[in-house]
Amino acid sequence: MKLEPLPVRIIFFGMVGSFSLPSLAALFDAGYDVRTVVIPQQAGATQGDATSYRRFALPASGAPRARPTLPMLSTSGLAPDGAPRTIIEFAARRLIPVYEVTRLNDPGFLTLLASFAPDVICVACFSRRLPPGVVRLPRLGCLNVHPSLLPDNRGPDPLFWTFRRGEAFTGVTVHLLDEGFDSGPIVIQKAMDIPAGTTEAALEARLATLGGKLLARAVEGLATGALHPTPQDTTRATGYGWPQDDDYVIDLRQGDWSAERAYRFACGIGGRGQAMMIIATDGARFRLIAPLEYLEYSDDWRSHLAHNTAWRQEGGDLWLRCARGMLHVRADPLS
């Protein structure tokens, strides 16, 4: 009698934000044996310095360990009523243990992970870099879900820089972890478009859902040998750190801000609650309240701005001349 192969054993690293959940759900629904979930120490945790990890107290749940097809995040970033909203809630319903960790290199924590005999470690939006002792544990390797088309846009906050650059498309890459940041061999990736006016929450939800589907395929491909990791082309690599206050400024004096780029950036990042400023081509400064529209050369935007005029404001409405086209926003002047 031919024996069926055992499900691939997985340890999942993620966070309580919206990006991690679709990846965990996709792995579980694909039939993989998710042995445990690891999260970074939660804000307000009071565990002692001598403890590098603890089993997270999951909320009570009478749900059986079943594998229904779960609803993914909607484009608003919220799960439908009744569906888990975090990986902790998801784990509680599936009786998957969750561990909260402070020191990833702790020998006791490494022993704990080894006890789960992982074939693959899967990472989706984990805030800490996995040390070599963790990366070497799984038989098939560590897979990371990154919301950009690597090797472009490496770093901890790729969505910010996607919007900052005014990109009309992005994508998801699933790659193997190595000693660098987002530099490991690519297993699978797929592009998607970004309609003008897209918010960060909406784009993150789309990327998270796509990332979950690609991660499940990547695990299968590694296990069966159908997918072969490809080294990244370092000559095409770009990388960015965490954005600073100056990165939230749209400075039209620089000459590389088209109206479309400024509009995409303002729409995408405006929901972060970070103060955003626009500097007109003549140096006038404004506090951005809300983007309204952008007009290209083909539109009759010159009726809003006289020849060589940098900007015009009526009440809260502000029209600004850009390197290409005109930007229409609600804004307040800054002294």
Output the CA–CA distances (angstroms, integers) from residue 333 to 269, 280, 323, in the order listed.
Answer: 20, 11, 21
Q: What is the pLDDT of residue 85?
A: 86
Start-to-end CA distance of the chain, whole Å, equals 81
d(CA 226, CA 68) in angstroms, rounded, equals 26
- Name the average pLDDT for the chain: 88
Which residues make up the CATH 3.10.25 domain(s) of the chain? 245-333
Residue 250 has pLDDT above 70, yes or no: yes
User: 217 falls in which pLDDT band (50, 70, 90)?
Assistant: very high
CATH level 3 topology of 245-333: Methionyl-tRNA Fmet Formyltransferase; Chain A, domain 2 (3.10.25)
Give the residue from 57, 59, 67, 76 showing the smallest Cα distance to 24. 67
CATH 3.40.50.170-classified regions of the chain: 9-236
Mean pLDDT of 61-65: 47
The amino acid occupying position 280 is A
pLDDT surpasses 60 at 254: yes
Contacts of residue 17, Cβ cutoff 8 Å, sequence gap at least 6 = 125
pTM of the model: 0.88
Q: Work out the average pLDDT over 80-87.
A: 75
- pLDDT tens digits, 257-297: 999 999 999 999 999 999 999 999 999 999 999 999 999 87
Fold of 9-236: Rossmann fold (3.40.50)
User: Could you give the count of Cα atoms lying within 13 Å of 142 in the half-sphere of its Cβ?
Assistant: 26
Q: What percent of the chain has pLDDT over 70?
A: 87
